[in-house]
Amino acid sequence: MRSTLILFFSGLAMCSANAQTLHDDCTRILSKDELALLKQERLDESLALSAMQPAVKIATQYNVIPTGTIKDMHIKAEAWHINGFFSGIVNADNYLTVISGQENLDAFPVNGIQYKTGMPFGNGTVINAGEATAFTGFTTPGTYWVYVYAANSNSATGMLYDPTPIYKTQVVAKPTAGTNFYFGNLHSHSSYSDGNKDNTALTPADDYAYAKNSQCMDFLGISEHNHFSSTNNPGMHLADYQPGITAANQFTTNNPGFLALYGMEWGVINNGGHVIIYGVDSLIGWETLSGNPNYDIYVGEYDYTGTNGLFHTVSRFAYNKSFASFAHPDNTDYDSLRYIPLDTAADNAVVGCAIESGPAFSTDTSYTDDPTSMGYLSYFKAMLAKGYHIGPFIDQDTHYLTFGRNTKARQVVIAPSLSKNDFFDAMRAMHFYATEICDTKIDMDVSGQLMGSVFAHQGAPSINISASNATYPGTPVISILMGVPGSGFNPTVIATNTGATLSYTDNTLADGNTAYYYADITINGKRTITSPVWYTRNDGLSVGNVVPNLLVNDLIVKGNPVRDNVLHLDIATVQNQDVLITIHDIAGRVLLSKNIASGNTNADINMTTFTAGTYIVSARFFNETVSRLIVK
């Protein structure tokens, strides 16, 4: 049954007219054209949902019972949910997955019945039923048995089951390193630039202390404007930048369980565009004050894409795990990046784009002052369609003492710990999502890889999504969107479900092609957007039999973009094993393969024969593959 989603829209002036006049770095007011575009986008989303086509069905023989066994099951069991994916068998176009605390089920699938997720099944529970060669379900820590049955819907009964499970295994759900969710905000200002407008005597340390006591705040990033117009507008001085970094590091040390970060918001609103930057511990700028440079590193005021421009400069700090994001983007910002061919330096430096921002000058502390919902989502989609590898940011752009308390919107980072190193690794890998309602927990993987991953794999991509919110519970509505990088066409909805989980297999993706997938989830009227997964289908690849945990074994690229034709890699593995390093292009073609003997922790790869461009380097750790984007 099709249903039409009706959306209501209300405009929002993000700054007062007077503020816009006084502060050239104030968050922009959406123009009439942009408001019209936003309305049209909401209408397009509604129509896409109502007109969504069903998944491509697998061809099966009439009235034939599917028989066989699953040879390549991948399962990941954790404290709060279990995920799995596999290749299908002949004459099966539906699969029933049951989980039980006992080894022997006291029930069998009955022909003609279309089981539903959540239904009891003997002494077990159905966690997925449908065409997907994937499943996901919620669990608590403990030992479980998983059963998968195959069915053929092309039969006289409407659903013809093999009564013998095609897969059965025991799993232990226990806490693991990859499932910690950290909530916070990476766009705010202190009195060191144009923040703390209600009390300029406050310092970054005071702001971190305030944020720590706000709801759903595990981290706060203060991103000061990089230049000076006049005092408090934006008012940044070079002399304040290093003290800001010191204050952040000291607060983190003194307050276990909270991460304080200090960075910059680079650029100007008019004819430029703002970029949030972390991991560059030197102030980037262009101006002189009283004859002295107000910067450590010079970059021209409007130079984003030049050889010595902002994106190349940020990329040079990749060894320090630097990352950047587009703040409240305008269509012509960043040297009109949206309208020119993909810039590899920008793709390497930028990991995110604000899909929602503000309210920048709110003084509300009741968690109810929300900005225009998803006001910059159209720019995010356009950049994905162009081929950029970015995830979504939700920015608060705080200028008063309200850190975390004017809205429940949060940036959510998935990392093994809240250490600065783990946090920056997760940001560089785009293991994050943006939510309008804090405490929303989203787990999304495509064929076992966490959101933000860029990789190649054999077979059709299997997508698993779980959504929950313990503080503000409600029934999620989950949509999966798919797009083709570099196509110029916005992503489209390919699957949707009202419920806490959604498993889907995209059988439309042909061998040799690449697509990206992300989730758009609504709970209690508030939306969450995940980072995409970029998936290249390569049926010639071999796969192991264990789902990877990307945050246990790791591959660190040192010096990205690659310079002097040598790619430097740091290999971190929990097992004594050989590691296979491969480099392939964005289309998935393998260009280099090299084995690194066990015990080695680093490797240098000669890339003299590689032309300038974007590549993917992968490390195969026995039963998992970890991939990273590199630029030469």
What gap in Å lies between CA 111 and CA 78, rounded to an integer?
32
User: CB neighbours of 580 closer than 8 A, spacing ≥ 6?
Assistant: 593, 594, 595, 596, 619, 620
Residue 549: inside a domain: no
What gap in Å lies between CA 429 and CA 453, rounded to an integer?
7
Give the pLDDT band (50/70/90) at residue 187: very high
Query: At 140, which CATH number?
Result: 2.60.40.10
Q: Please give the pLDDT value at position 12.
A: 35
Q: CB neighbours (10 Å) of residue 433?
A: 28
pLDDT at 505 over 90: yes
In this structure, are 392 and 279 located in the same domain?
yes
Q: Please give the pLDDT value at position 318.
A: 83
In this structure, are 394 and 366 located in the same domain?
yes
Q: Among the three residues 502, 537, 572, which one is the final residue of a domain in this structure?
A: 537
Q: What share of the chain is helix, strand, coil (3-state, %, to 5)?
A: 15, 35, 50
What share of the chain has pLDDT > 90, as a percent? Answer: 66
Q: Among the three residues 157, 173, 189, which one is the final residue of a domain in this structure?
A: 173
In this structure, are 347 and 445 located in the same domain?
yes
Q: Please give the pLDDT value at position 375.
A: 92
Residue 95: inside a domain: yes
Residue closest to 73 by CA, chosen among 89, 91, 54: 89
Query: Is the pLDDT higher at 172 or at 386?
Result: 386
Query: Is the pLDDT higher at 595 or at 306?
Result: 306
In this structure, are 465 and 494 located in the same domain?
yes
In this structure, are 289 and 432 located in the same domain?
yes
Q: What is the pTM of this model?
A: 0.83
Residue 583: inside a domain: yes
Amino acid at 391: G
How far CA 505 is from CA of 74, 427, 458, 494, in Å, comes to 14, 27, 13, 10
Domain that holds residue 470: 180-537
In this structure, are 250 and 299 located in the same domain?
yes
Total tally of structural domains belonging to the chain: 3
- Mean of pLDDT over the chain: 87
Residue 594's DSSP bridge partners are 581
Measured at the CA of 598, the angle between CA 594 and CA 602, to 5 degrees, comes to 65
Q: Please give the pLDDT value at position 618.
A: 83
Q: Please give the pLDDT value at position 167.
A: 93
Give the pLDDT band (50/70/90) at residue 30: low
Helix axes 204-212, 238-254, angle to 10 degrees: 30
User: CB neighbours of 14 closer than 8 A, spacing ≥ 6?
Assistant: 26, 27, 28, 29, 30, 328, 357, 358, 359, 360, 361, 371, 372
Residue 24: inside a domain: no
What gap in Å lies between CA 442 and CA 265, rounded to an integer?
28
Q: Among the three residues 511, 537, 563, which one is the final residue of a domain in this structure?
A: 537
Residue 32: inside a domain: no
In this structure, are 454 and 598 located in the same domain?
no
pLDDT at 370 over 60: yes
In this structure, are 217 and 333 located in the same domain?
yes
In this structure, are 164 and 232 located in the same domain?
no
Residue 142: inside a domain: yes
Tell me what the mean pLDDT of segment 227-247 comes to. 94
What gap in Å lies between CA 516 and CA 509, rounded to an integer?
11
In this structure, are 372 and 467 located in the same domain?
yes
User: CB neighbours of 164 closer than 8 A, spacing ≥ 6?
Assistant: none
Query: Is the pLDDT higher at 267 or at 48?
Result: 267
Query: At 603, which CATH number?
Result: 2.60.40.3080
Q: Please give the pLDDT value at position 49.
A: 58
What gap in Å lies between CA 429 and CA 421, rounded to an integer?
12
Which 3 state secondary structure label does DSSP give 132? Answer: coil
In this structure, are 343 and 360 located in the same domain?
yes
Q: Say which range, 107-116, 157-166, 331-340, 606-615, has the weakest mean pLDDT.
A: 606-615
In this structure, are 515 and 597 located in the same domain?
no
Residue 547: inside a domain: no
Residue 545: inside a domain: no
Give the pLDDT band (50/70/90) at residue 545: very low
